[in-house]
Amino acid sequence: MNRWALHFFAMVAFVIAAVAFAATATFAQSDSAPPAQSPGQSSSPAPAPSAKKVWTNENMPSAAPSSPDSNVKPTSTVNKPKPNAKGKDAGWYRTQISKLQAQIPPLDEKISQLQAALNGQTVTSTRQYGGTKPDDWRDELSRFQKQRDDIDTKIAALEDQARHDGVPENELP
């Protein structure tokens, strides 16, 4: 049974490769082949295609269509906040940082309860098990501390990115 599956897989792979090769070969031939002449056309050579124009930044202002209001200068954008290319403004950074900061107090609560339990203090909350085997409290504590550190790292990265995007620090939480 296993040998049959291997042969079947090899045949399917071969057929797929052959079809892909044939398709690319046909596509390449159709691109490079000259168009067939119809009997009504003369046998004179076809004119060579014109050279393609490569546009650079220097060409762009001269290529812009002129309008009757072309003498009007654009309004000043000095005082306007620059929108980020990805649409991230101060409000977006503020909401993302606030969401991450909202995750910190429950983690701090769990960390303090686990530390109290590991120190031998009486804990009033019941321990919840997520599966068939309860975790070691030290493992759970290290996992929660790692989550807390990851959230702090994400917040710092968002603040750094906001600073690079020109968002004033007083607009962030």
Structure letter (DSSP) for residue 124: -
| 9 part of a folded domain | no
The pair of three-digit structure tokens given for residue 66, joined into one six-digit string: 């002129």
160 within some domain: yes
Domain residues for the domain of 166 are: 104-121+136-173
Q: Are the C-beta atoms of residues 155 and 101 closer than 8 Å to each other?
A: yes
User: Does residue 89 contact residue 83 with C-beta atoms inside 8 Å?
Assistant: yes
Please give the DSSP secondary-structure letter assigned to residue 69: T
Domain annotation covers residue 144: yes
Residue 113 lies in a domain: yes
Per-residue pLDDT of the chain (173 residues), as tens digits, is 577 788 888 888 888 888 887 777 666 665 555 555 555 555 555 556 677 777 777 776 654 555 555 555 555 544 455 555 566 788 898 999 999 999 999 999 989 988 988 888 876 666 666 665 666 778 888 999 999 999 999 999 999 998 888 888 888 77
Q: DSSP letters along 20-53, please?
A: HHHHHHHHHHHHHSPPPPPTTS-SSPPPPPPPPP
Domain count of the fold of the chain: 1
Global pTM exceeds 0.75: no
In the numeric block, the tokens 């079947």 are attached to 8
Span between the terminal Cα atoms of the chain, in Å: 64
